[in-house]
Structure 1
Amino acid sequence: MTLIVAAYNEEDIIGAKIENSLQLDYPGSKLDIVVFSDESSDCTDEIVQSYADEGVELIRIEGRVGKTVCQNEVVDTIKTDFIVFSDANSMYDRNAIKRLVERFDEGTGCVVGELRYEGGAVEGESVYWRYERIVKRLESDFHSLVGGNGAIYAVRRESYVPLPADAISDFAEPLAVVRDGETVKYEPDAIAREHTEEDLSGELSRRVRIISRSWNSLFDNLDLLNPIRQPKFAFQLLSHKVLRWLSPLFLTVALVSSGLLIWLADSVVYPVLFGGQLFFYMLAATGWFFEEFDINAPLILHVPHYFVVSNIGMVYGLAEFLRNGPVITWETTDRAE
């Protein structure tokens, strides 16, 4: 088993990540730890090298080529049967990797663990991920997940597919696994923990980058939306990803149409629907006001605010993809202590 940790300017957290990785429980204690550095310009490399005596390997990749290219290059050097991919700020529960491997069965090429957000200020993100966990459980039971999570997912070495530089690896790699006839499963007991963003501006920029790259990966895999080829997976990909990314359009249509129907139809339903939407957006606006003045907003305000910001990020992400294409490299965000 090899654990691959992605790093770019992670001097504040990489030591803690390595210490966490060295404490993981894996059968036979045979766990190789590899950290790739995408031309980090801080002390990340020096910190990783200080753990060389404990078996931690640093692979520095020059040229600032982006996470996906780094991942491809590092996987070429791996000989173990399974590979786990992780981010530098993702701290694993002690049995996380063991649980990932146990979830593999015949026909499974990739297993995705569970990401839990803790601390930070963006509580709405934690609420979102609790909902997302339910969806993943149902998807995995129905057929296959339609995406991974960069914090914690494992791939059989023989199932790994090299990806283009502009692909978002934790979405495109599971798609490639499915294209090759295998499935992607979910293991909720393989837990990684991260802090949420400190504010919604950081969450917005992150979502724009992810959505932009995800649209690009989707266009590279449009054949997977063919219901004749894989009807179950095509339905899952359409409903979970495509329709969700287009939700700002549906929300706008719902608001405008229910407003118009107040005047065009004699029914009490449409004023109630229109008023309910306005009330929700009023809560979101109040949540924005609280954040602007650095006031701790209650969930009834914060969650609508987070929902609206997430949908704005989807709009900006699609616009960014159409205008400039996807972002290949990534930046380290400020993280909660």
Structure 2
Amino acid sequence: MGHIELARWADVMIVAPASADVIARIAQGNGNDLLTTACLARRCELIIAPAMNEAMWHHQATQDNLALLHTRGVHQIGPASGGQACGDVGMGRMSEPAILAQEIANHFQTGILAGKSVVITAGPTREAIDPVRYISNHSSGKMGYALAQAAVDAGAKVTLISGPTALACPDHVTRVDVVSAEDMYQASMNALKHGDIFIASAAVADFRPATIAEQKMKKTSSDTMTINMVKNPDIVASVASATESPFVVGFAAETHDVIAYAKDKLQRKKLDMIIANDVSDSSIGFNSDHNAVTVLTKGGLVELPEASKHQLAATIVERIAHELSVNTQPVR
């Protein structure tokens, strides 16, 4: 269903302009067109930008509808005062687009990681076989990039160590591009010197070819090929075992026994938190804009139901901030 799909992917929904009629219909819970049904089906926050004649703005019915929406948590930007299309002058002009954009950006800035330095790994790695071929995986990097945006919105200084992806780097994020697992390991250990939080969301190859052919490998008469593999460095375990380790968050992308494997990884690698998800479900996870995860710490687990990766990233950052505040509280 089109209106349901529209309502699911957004981190926030803004209605601009929001006429007196639209405000009234949203307040009454109407769902008789695409806009109002999307508003009813949304799971994210709603922002309205009123725009109407100044007499309609001041009408008690409009003010009552706005008051009702405010009690439901709907946010409002504007209106501004000035000349209107009908020739009247007064309140009711929609706020300028630049103001709306800034207010929406401010809406995401929580400040819960203000003063913190966050290092995030994202995307796949590519392990070369020869100059043409490589071994990789299906990771799109979307979760890591969403986490980078969420950390910036939370006030952190963010370094994103990214394997090959087609994604644009979020604003105010320092991106370090890498290709192989060894590249990512070196970049991570270098960034570790300045990091308070390390989030290992990249899908790093566990093994790489022992040797890389200097020339393209040619097909032979044999029906099989053997490639000797060697283990790659374990980035998240290395960071967690460092002398001055930051708060370390790992990821466990599993196809079965998800929670059991995640718990083992949390304990064995001495992580502070791990995010587990079932990648056997093709509708979420790799390459999808949505996911459903379980957040595990030494204190227990919290299941986060399916949502956009941006929504999940914001919630994960909130969980990290909470754990940091708990762990740094003085003992009484």
Same fold at TM > 0.5? no
Q: TM-score range by the shorter chain?
A: under 0.3
In terms of Rg, which structure is larger?
A: 2
1 or 2, which has the higher strand percentage?
Answer: 2
Name the structure with the higher helix share: 1
Scaled by the length of structure 2, what TM-score is found? 0.22
TM-score, length basis structure 1: 0.22
